[in-house]
């Protein structure tokens, strides 16, 4: 099986590592504009060979793991080149614009729109890790538009590397992901910005920051080159979530200003319910995997 991975970073590199553990006869080719990334991916054993974009015509599977704005330009070009037997999968965090971009492409049936809900704050080939996708959800959009035999190839791989599958339409995906992912990143970036602006002494930040602060700003270490296009493509949904978030922050500030700490307590106590929601989801998913 000839697998071409476009974008050898955290997601593309981790996919390559996991694929090698579940597919014995697989040769992985790397395509990346960054020559240093390709060389590093070779050194780390993420890929078997470097390749050029036009070599994609020989692929059995193409995995697209580049920033979402670049995917808009690259995906149609991939579909132009691949054979009828090749499945093309993307891993982007926004789906609606990309699905619309190729909806009338002659080889639309070769494309499977997917979003693995997994990752870390690190980027580049050195960030790739075994098991990144294990027990993680993989959202698939417009599965009915992908040729059934190609669906089977992709789903077999996803299940082999331990992913749970969830089906969703692109608009719903982008709306939901704005709340549970995109807003989290904005919050982390802006908290980090606030602290850096107010705490001029970096040593004070290092000495006084606890685990709560560190975990909250972890996402602020994520790549701006990846996240700026995501915010741009999902602007409408992200703006809506920001409005609601800002409204809640203003409400919390007003309670404090009025010394209404009884209601501050109530607000936080009600929000503790998120723990039960997340614990319940995790338990249900564990049962499904047994």
Mapping DSSP onto H, E and C, the string for the chain reads: CEEEEECCCHHHHHHHHHHHHHCCCCEEEEECCCHHHHHHHHHHCCCCEECCHHHHHHCCEEEECCCHHHHHHHHHHHHHHCCCCCEEEECCCCCHHHHHHCCCCCCHHHEEEEEECCCCCCCCHHHCCCCCCCCCEEEEECHHHCCHHHHHHHHHHHHHCCCEEEEECHHHHHHHHHHHHHHHHHHHHHHHHHHHHHCCCHHHHHHHCCHHHHHHCHHHHCCHHHHHHHHHHCHHHHHHHHHHHHHHHHHHHHHHHCCCHHHHHHHHHHHCHHHHHHHHHHHHHHHHHC
pLDDT one-digit tens code per residue, 209-258:
656 667 777 888 888 989 999 999 999 999 999 999 999 999 999 999 99
pLDDT score of 283:
52
Inform me whether the pLDDT recorded for 185 exceeds 50. Answer: yes
d(CA 87, CA 63): 9
Contact by Cβ (8 Å): 87, 109: no
Entry pTM: 0.84
d(CA 130, CA 19): 10
> Mean pLDDT over residues 176-200, rounded?
86
> Mean pLDDT over residues 138-147, rounded?
98
pLDDT score of 79:
98
Query: What pLDDT band is residue 290 in, cutting at 50, 70 and 90?
Result: very low
Structure token pair of residue 252: 């919390």
Domains delineated in the chain: 2-168 (3.40.50.720), 173-258 (1.10.3660.10)
């Amino acid at each position: 099986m000839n697998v071409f991975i476009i974008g050898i970073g955290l997601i593309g590199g981790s996919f390559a590592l996991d694929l090698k553990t579940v597919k014995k006869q697989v040769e992985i080719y790397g395509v990346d504009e960054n020559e240093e990334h390709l060389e590093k991916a070779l050194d780390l054993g993420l890929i078997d060979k470097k390749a050029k974009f036009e070599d994609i015509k020989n692929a059995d599977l193409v995995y697209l793991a580049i920033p979402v704005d670049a995917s808009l330009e690259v995906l149609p070009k991939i579909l132009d080149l691949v054979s009828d037997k090749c499945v093309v999968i993307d891993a982007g965090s926004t789906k609606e614009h990309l699905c619309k971009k190729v909806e009338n492409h002659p080889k639309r049936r070769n494309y499977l729109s997917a979003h693995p809900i997994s990752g870390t704050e690190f980027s580049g080939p050195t960030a790739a890790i075994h098991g990144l996708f294990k027990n993680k959800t993989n959202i698939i959009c417009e599965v009915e538009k992908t040729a059934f035999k190609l669906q089977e190839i992709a789903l077999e791989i996803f299940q082999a590397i331990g992913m749970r599958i969830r089906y969703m339409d692109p608009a719903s995906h982008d709306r939901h992901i704005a709340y549970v992912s995109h807003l989290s990143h904005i919050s982390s970036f802006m908290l980090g910005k606030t602290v850096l602006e107010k705490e001029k002494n970096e040593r004070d930040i290092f000495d006084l920051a606890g685990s709560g602060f560190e975990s909250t700003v972890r996402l602020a270490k994520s790549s701006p080159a990846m996240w700026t296009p995501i915010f741009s493509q999902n602007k409408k949904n992200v703006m809506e979530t920001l409005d609601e978030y800002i409204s809640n922050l203003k409400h919390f500030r007003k309670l404090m200003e009025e010394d209404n700490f009884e209601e501050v307590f109530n607000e936080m106590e009600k929000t503790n319910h998120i723990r039960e929601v997340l614990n319940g989801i995790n338990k249900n998913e564990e049962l499904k995997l047994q």
